[in-house]
Structure 1
Amino acid sequence: MDDYLQRILRARVYDVAHETPLELAKNLSRRFQNKIWLKREDLQPVFSFKLRGAYNRMSLLSQEELQRGVIASSAGNHAQGVALSASYLNCRAVIVMPITTPEMKVRAVRALGAEVALHGETYDEAYQEAMRRSEKDGLTFIHPFDDPEVIAGQGTIALEILRQIQDPPDAIYVAVGGGGLIGGIATYVKSLWPQVEIIGVEPYDAAAMKLSLEAGERIQLPNVGLFADGVAVRQVGKLTFSLAQMHVDAMVTVSTDEICAAIKDVFEDTRSILEPAGALAIAGMKADIAKRDLQDRTLVAVACGANMNFERLRFVAERAELGEEREAILAVEIPEQAGSLRKLCNVLAGKNLTEFSYRMAEGDRAQIFIGVQVLDLDDRTKLLTRLQSSGFACLDLSNDELTKGHLRHMVGGRLPASAKTLCRDGCRELLYRFEFPERPGALMTFVSALHPEWSISIFHYRNHGADVGRIVVGVLVQDNEMDDWQRFLEDLGYPNWEETNNPAYCLFLGAQTV
C-alpha cells in the first residue's frame, strides 16, 4: 500500500487532466433519502478518467522511448487518453482498434494526432496485434489498466474526492473493467479512511472481477456483454486483482436496463449524458441502496465516462423505464369482437400507456401488446390483478429479453380474409394516422370517441417522449357508414392522414386474399 500511495502522490496528471468537481446529485439524493455525490470524470478533456493513467505512465518514459513512440490497444477511452498524452509529449502514438469500433471513436482518436490501425473483431485480437507490433517496431506498450503507474494515475481521483468532501463518505462506488480505476481509488482511500466501503460495479454479463474474487483467482470469461463496452474485459489484471483482494469490500452486478435507468438519472440531475460504463457506478449504487435499505448515508459514485454513441440513445431511452421497474410490458388477451378494446381501455384508465399494438387475427380471441407506466413492482402486480379480475388473461413480459429487444417491434401481420365476416357486405378496412397532444388520458379519449359498432382491426401507439402522440388505426367500416366516419374525423379535431392506399400497408398489413 505504501508503494502505491507514494506513486499516487507523485503522479503527474494535471499537465493534461483536470481536477473534476464532486457534485451533489440533488434529485437522486432526494429520491433515495441519502446524500449522493457524483465525481464528474466525464468532464475530462477526453470525456473519461482514462487520461489520468495514460499520461502518468507516459510522462515517465525516457527520451529514447518517447522518440520511438508508444502503442496501445483500445476501442475507445484509453485510446483517446494515450493519443492526447502523446500529443502533449510530442511522441508518436499507434492505437490498435477492433474493426468493429464505431467510426466516431476512430475519428476522435485520429483527430488527436494518433495513428489508428484497425485489426480483429474483438479487443483481445487488437491486443495481440498491439503486442506484436510493440515487439516488432520497438514501441512502448501502454497498458489500459495493469500497470502500477496507470493505476496510480487513476488513484488521483481518490486524492481529489478526499480533498473535496468534508467528512468521510460511507461508501464509494466504482465501475470495474480491468480494475485499474478501482485499484487506484481503493488503495488511496483505504490508506487514509479505512472505514469507507469501496464497492465495485460490473454488468451481469461482464463480471470478471466479481467471479475472480469469489474464486480466489483470476477467472477468464468465455465471452462478455458489449453494451457497457468500456468495461467489457474477459479477465482482470494481475496487479488490479491483487489490489481488489486487499481493498475492495464488495462487488455489485447490474443489468443493461439498470444501466440505462442510471444514464437517465444522471441526465435529470446534470443534463449530461454518460456512456453505459460511465453510469455503471450509479446503477450499482442504486441497486445496493435497495438491497441493503441504505438511508441517511453519504455515498459517492464515480461518473467515469461520457463517450456515448448517439445511435445508442434510442435504446437507452426505451430501456430506462424498464430498468426502474416503472414500465410494464404485457400481453393481454381480449375477445375478438366490437367493444372489447374500449372495455380494456376502461380498465387501464388512469394509467399512462407507452405502447399499444394490436392486429386483428383469425379466431375469437386477440392478443394485444401493451406498454404501461407503473410506479414500481408492487403497482405492476396490482395492475395484473386488476386486468385478470376484469376477465382479461394477461402475461407479464417485462423481464423477457426477446420481447424487449425484438417482439415489441414485430407485432403486426395481414388482415385475415375472414375478418370481413365481422360486418355485413360492403365492409372495408380504412387505415388512418392521427396526431394528438401527448398528455395523460388522450389515448383513452380517442378510443372512447370511436363508434361502438366499428371493429378496430389495427391499433398502434408508441410514446416517443415528444409533445405530440401518434396513432395508426385500422377500422372496418361499411360503405353506408362513410359519412359517419367523416363526421367522426371532423368532431375529433385531431390532424389525420388516410393511409389506406399506402404501398407499405398494402404489402405488409393489408387484407389477405381468399
Structure 2
Amino acid sequence: MTDFAAAVREAEVALRDLFEPTPLQKNDHLSARYGAEIWLKREDLTPVRSYKLRGAFNAMRKIGAGTAGHFVCASAGNHAQGMAYACRHFGARGTIFMPVTTPKQKIDKTRIFGGDAIQIVLTGDYFDQTLAAAQDFAREQGASFLSPFDDPDIIEGQATVGLEFLSQLGEAPDLVVLPVGGGGLSAGVSRLLAELSPQTQIAFAEPEGGASLHAALTNGAPVTLPAVDNFVDGAAVARIGALPFSTLSRFSPDLVHRAPEDRICATMLEMLNIEGIVLEPAGALTVDVLRDIPDLAGKRVVCICSGGNFDFERLPEVKERAQRFSGLKRYFILRMPQRPGALRDFLGLLGPNDDITRFEYLKKSARNFGSILIGIETTSPEQLDDLRDRLEGAGIGHRDITRDPILSEFLI
C-alpha cells in the first residue's frame, strides 16, 4: 500500500469514531434503464448528510484538535456543517463565517451540529467577501483555517469514500462517476483508485453553470469562470482548487460531463418520486450525467451521491425547472389585440390538456395591442408545439421565453 493509500486507511479507521461506512446500494431502477449495474454511494446519509465531514475531521485530527484548538472556515453549507460536527466531537473551538444571505435553515443546522463549540459570524453579501474575512480572522487569531478542498489533509479525508466502496463492492468497479466542485473529493478518490484499482475508469460530473474543472483541463491550468450559476450550490465553484487540479490535470476534458441545472432538477424529482431518495442539486450530479456517458451497458458503475441537504422550500422551484427542461411547461409573451373577444379567441386555441398556470398583463405595447405573459403546463411537449402552431395560424404574435435567461429571470 502506498503512502497516500496508507494515510487514507488511517483516516478511515479514525473516522469510525464518528459514523459507520455510508451504504453502497445497487439501484435497480437505474440499472434497468442503462443495462448496467448502477451502485449509489450514499454520502447523503452521513451524520451531516454530506461527505464534507470526512475531510474536516481528518484535517482537524492531523492538526491536533483538542480543547485548545481553534479552527476557522468560510462556508454557507456542507463544509460548515462538517467542521461544526467535528469541532463538537473534538471539543475544539470553531468560528464559522457565513454570508449574510445564508438561509436561516442552514445557519440553524450548523449551530445544532456544533453546539457550544462553535461561533457563527455572518458577514459579506458574496462568498468572496466572506472568505476574505475568515482568512483575515484566522491570521489575526493564529487559528487554523480549513479550506473546503484546497488542502492535502482535506483531500485525504475525502478519499475515504473510495476505500469504503472498494471494500463494500468486494471487487473493482468498471467505472466511478465523481462529482466536482472545488475538486477535493474527486482528487482524493481518483488518486486512490489510480493506486488501488488502476483498471477502473473515471468520469466526472459538474454543473453546466460552474464547470471549473472542464475549463481548467481545456486551458491546461485553473481559470476563474467569468460567471457562475449558483443553483447547484454544493458544486458551483468559479475556480478549481490548485491542489486538486495537480491530481486531476492528467484527465481529458472529454471525461468531464456538464449537467444542465434544469435537467438536474428533473433528476432530483425522479430520485425523490421513484426511489424516495432526497438529494440536493450537487448530490444528484453523478446520477444525472449517466445519460451522457457512452457504453454503460454491462458495466459495474459506482455513482457518488455527495449530499442530501435539500431545503424543501426550494421544491416548487425544482419542480418548475424540471417541467421547463422536460418541455411540459412553457412561458410565452403574447401580443394580443385590444378588442372584445380577443381573450376568448385565444382560449379557444388551447388543447384539452393545456392548463394556464400564470396570466399577467404586462403593458399596452401599441394603441390597439397589449402584451401578456402566460405560463402553460400540459402533459407532453408535443402539445405545446401544436399550440405554438395554432398561435401562428391565428396570427397571434408570440415569443417563447422559457429558455431566455434574461427575460425568464426578470419575468418568471
Question: Structure 1 405/122 Cα, relative in aligned 2: closer, same or farther at 3 Å?
Answer: closer
Q: Write the distance in 1 (CA, Å) between the matches of 2:390 and 2:86.
A: 60
Distance 1:48 1:382, change over 3 A: same
1:176 aligns with 2:170: no
Root-mean-square deviation over aligned CA pairs:
3.1
User: Identity of paired residues, percent?
Assistant: 33
Q: Which moved more, 1:160-169 or 1:122-131?
A: 160-169
Shift of 1:17: 3.4
Q: How does 1:159-308 map to 2 (within 5 A)?
A: 159-165=163-169, 168-246=172-250, 250-286=255-291, 288-289=292-293, 292=294, 294-308=296-310
Pair 319,310 (structure 1): closer, same or farther in 2 beyond 3 Å: same
- Once residues 394 and 212 of structure 1 are traced to their aligned partners in structure 2, the CA distance between those partners, rounded to angstroms, is 41
Match of 2:376 among 365, 371, 376: 371
- Please list the CA deviations of residues 315-347 of structure 1 after superposition, one character each: whole Å capped at 9, or x if unmatched: 1121112233443444566775365245313xx
Q: Normalised by the size of structure 1, how large is the TM-score?
A: 0.69
For these two proteins, the number of residue pairs brought into alignment is 400
* Aligned equivalent of 2:8: 8
Deviations 1:189-236 (A, max 9, x none): 233333433222222222222111111111123443222222232322
Report 1 or 2 for greater relative contact order, CA contacts < 8 Å, sequence distance ≥ 6.
2
Counterpart Cα distance in 2 of 1:143 and 1:239 = 11
Contact 2:329 2:375 in 1 (8 A): no
The 2-side partners of 1:17 and 1:220 are apart by 36
Counterparts of 2:59 and 2:336, CA distance in 1: 65
SS at match of 1:150: helix
Q: Residue 40 of structure 1: CA displacement?
A: 1.2
Gaps spanning 5+ residues in structure 2: where?
A: none
Question: Partner residue of 2:43?
Answer: 41
Unpaired segments ≥5 residues, structure 1: 409-514
Tell me by how many angstroms 1:39 deviates: 1.7
Structure 1 residues 163 and 352, CA gap change in structure 2 (3 angstroms): farther
* 1:19 equivalenced with 2:7 (yes/no): no
Name the amino acid aligned to 2:110. Answer: V
Distance in 1, matches of 2:15 and 2:74, equals 21
| Partner Cα separation in structure 2 for residue 120 and residue 327 of structure 1 | 36
CA distance in structure 2 between the partners assigned to 1:168 and 1:33 by the alignment: 18
Amino acid corresponding to residue 191 of structure 2 in structure 1: T
1:56 aligned to which of 55, 58, 78: 58
Alpha-carbon distance, 1:168 to partner: 4.2
C-alpha contact (below 8 Å) 2:356/2:374 kept by paired residues:
no
Asked whether the equivalents of residues 187 and 247 of structure 1 are also in contact (C-alpha less than 8 Å), the reply is no
Q: How does 1:79-98 map to 2 (within 5 A)?
A: 79-98=80-99
Q: CA deviation at 1:358?
A: 6.6
In 2, the alpha carbon distance for the partners of 1:150 and 1:313 equals: 31
Q: Which secondary structure state, in structure 1, belongs to the residue aligned with residue 315 of structure 2?
A: helix
Is 2:157 the counterpart of 1:153? Answer: yes
CA contact (8 A) 1:325 1:374 kept: no
> Cα deviations across residues 10-42 of structure 1 (Å, max 9, x unaligned)?
213222133111223344444455443322111
Give me the whole-angstrom Cα distance separating, in 2, the residues matched to 1:356 and 1:33: 40
Please state how far the C-alpha of 1:246 moved relative to its aligned partner: 2.8
Q: Which has the larger radius of gyration?
A: 1
Q: Which amino acid aligns with 2:307?
A: G
Give SS of 1:144's match. Answer: coil
Q: 1:343 aligns with which of 343, 348, 368?
A: 348
Q: Distance in 2 between matches of 1:31 and 1:385?
A: 34
Give the letter aligned to residue 257 of structure 1: D
Q: Provide closer, same or farther for how the CA distance between residues 193 and 332 of structure 1 changes in structure 2, counting only shifts above 3 A.
A: farther
